[in-house]
Amino acid sequence: MLGEASTTAIVKTQNPKGFVENKIAAKQGGKIAGDARKALVIKTGEKVVYVCIIVELFFCVNYIYVVFLQQ
């Protein structure tokens, strides 16, 4: 979820054109999310587990992300 939000923000500000530039933006957004996850693990001392729950309502699929600290 953070990766997608970060990538969206990067795309809106940098306005990449074509596959290669969008791929770079996606990698940058993913790095931001990965760094945040690693920082959370260091801060809490616990692993982070992401669970994606897919809910289908009226043929529209919504994704709900839940973050658990693994103990």
Please give the average per-residue pLDDT across 43-64, as a whole number.
60
Determine the average pLDDT of the residues in 51-63.
51
pLDDT of 67 strictly over 70: no
Average pLDDT over residues 45-49: 75
- pLDDT at position 15 is 92
How far is the C-alpha of 40 from the C-alpha of 29, rounded, in Å? 17
In 3-58, DSSP assigns E strands to 47-57
pLDDT at 44: 83
Direct distance between the N- and C-terminal alpha carbons of the chain, in angstroms, rounded to an integer: 22
Mean pLDDT along residues 22-38: 90
Which residues are CB-neighbours of 45 under 8 A, at least 6 positions away?
A: none
Comparing 60 with 33, the larger pLDDT belongs to 33
